[in-house]
Structure 1
């Protein structure tokens, strides 16, 4: 039954130096984080051409959670469950809700931040949530003696269709999020990203407001296989807006986002996704209105 099947060689570096050596010696090997997405794919294994694996679990630097004066820094091999155990005092409410609503606790013990961000071909909730929180990622490239390091905004990891823009020689090593808390946030998901990804929608939104004026507005809308949208025009429309928003203001925002979705989604938009996205935007903005009025 398994004649001709190739078992992948597994390389298990214990330090970043070991990782650089393995990455250069085996350039076609794949980086393996939690494996939750890879192992869920049909026909991944056994296979005649299973690629070699560089397993990242054993590198302590990638499993650290640390705090600076301004940022929470998360190693790329930190799992969702590990971060949730840090506690509500440290986590943004939006991030906590996003993590808690991802899969089951057993799977959250395996899903890593780096793996969730760098999964090829599909986007789940985390990239949008980190984008709404204006998170950044540390990217190391050209692994070896001349390793280059840079920090990028999370949204710059993807194009508007959600395709990963990381190169083969680039690795996410850390994620950082500001400790400045949002005044308002909204997280919404419709549909199952695993069973019916073509119908699923994620929305993450955050902003601050002071004296009824909106600032630092950021929204991300994700269709798992066809869209990663950070609506620029709506961001311009919302920053500086006075609360409560008028019904006309909300309608213009919904119309603008609907147009952007139609113009940017890959391979056409499923009607259910378009309907869910527009309803999510409308509901989130009404929720922002309600919170601003109740806090006066």
Structure 2
């Protein structure tokens, strides 16, 4: 069945310098992090892979978690399981919840933070959550034997359809940075499995600060895994500064403004996904109302 197909060459750098040398010599090599997404593709392996595979598993400098008074930095080869175990005292609740629901316990041991963020054509819950947390990604670009380093907001890593925007150059996501100041209301909701039920799945993340029954610094991202990665600056601006509780009619109006915005910008989203996204968004505002009335 696999006659004529050879096993790909495996490159195994131990340092970023070794990776740079390999990337320069083999620019078409496939980068392998945890492999959980690549190996889930029905016709991925065995296959002819030009320039082989660069296995990041031996790069210890990409497996570090560090923090100071302002932010925590997470290496791209840290697994979801490792981060969940090590970060309980420093990570925001919304990120812990995202990691817990990212996959089964077994798969979480394999899924890497960088790998999840760099799936080329499907956006998952981690991207959605890190976008509302204003997380940054350190990206190293390799071209012509030269290396350049850029810090890019997670929210800017993808186009409006959710496709990865790292460009044509060889690139490596080496770590992410998350600030330690975030809202006291955080929520992430995922409906359907983003891999098994991609066309029905909706992922919504929301965070805000509450001060004297007023909403501040609202951040909101809604993802339809293979169709859209949407951040509504207009709705964030309207919600920031609003007094709680928000009148139910206003909540309803805002939710339909979201639907109108999504329909205008993303034609591929189904009516089912739109309604799911609208209701999830509404539920956040109703919950904020309930919390304000119970204080």
Q: Normalising to structure 2: TM-score of the pair?
A: 0.96
Contact 1:214–1:238 (8 Å) recurs in 2: yes
2:217 paired residue number: 216
Counterparts of 1:63-74 in structure 2 under 5 Å? 63-74=63-74
Cα deviation for residue 155 of structure 1 reads 0.7
Contact 1:4–1:48 (8 Å) recurs in 2: no
Question: Distance between the aligned counterparts of 1:48 and 1:70, measured in 2?
Answer: 45
Q: Provide the alpha-carbon RMSD of the alignment.
A: 1.5
Gaps spanning 5+ residues in structure 2: where? Answer: none
Is the aligned partner of 1:103 residue 2:103? yes
* Range with bigger deviation, 218-227 or 47-56: 47-56
Cα deviation for residue 3 of structure 1 reads 1.4
Counterparts of 1:156-175 in structure 2 under 5 Å? 156-167=156-167, 168-175=169-176
Gaps spanning 5+ residues in structure 1: where? Answer: none
2:245 paired residue number: 244
1:154 paired residue number: 154
1:141 paired residue number: 141
1:281 paired residue number: 281
Question: Distance between the aligned counterparts of 1:285 and 1:87, measured in 2?
Answer: 28
Cα deviation for residue 291 of structure 1 reads 2.1
Question: Distance between the aligned counterparts of 2:44 and 2:127, measured in 1?
Answer: 24
Counterparts of 1:187-202 in structure 2 under 5 Å? 187-202=188-203
Question: Distance between the aligned counterparts of 1:265 and 1:64, measured in 2?
Answer: 38
Contact 1:6–1:50 (8 Å) recurs in 2: no
* Range with bigger deviation, 144-153 or 237-246: 144-153
Question: Distance between the aligned counterparts of 1:107 and 1:122, measured in 2?
Answer: 17
* Range with bigger deviation, 173-182 or 246-255: 246-255
Counterparts of 1:54-133 in structure 2 under 5 Å? 54-133=54-133
Contact 1:21–1:144 (8 Å) recurs in 2: no
Question: Distance between the aligned counterparts of 1:94 and 1:39, measured in 2?
Answer: 28
Question: Distance between the aligned counterparts of 2:130 and 2:90, measured in 1?
Answer: 15
Question: Distance between the aligned counterparts of 1:50 and 1:6, measured in 2?
Answer: 11
Contact 1:5–1:49 (8 Å) recurs in 2: no
**How many residues get paired?**
294
Contact 1:7–1:50 (8 Å) recurs in 2: no
SS at match of 1:85: helix
Contact 2:28–2:50 (8 Å) recurs in 1: no
After superposition, the Cα gap between the structure-2 partners of 1:75 and 1:20, relative to the gap in structure 1 and judged at 3 Å, is: same
Question: Distance between the aligned counterparts of 2:136 and 2:291, measured in 1?
Answer: 28
Cα deviation for residue 136 of structure 1 reads 0.9
Contact 1:140–1:172 (8 Å) recurs in 2: yes
Contact 1:20–1:143 (8 Å) recurs in 2: no
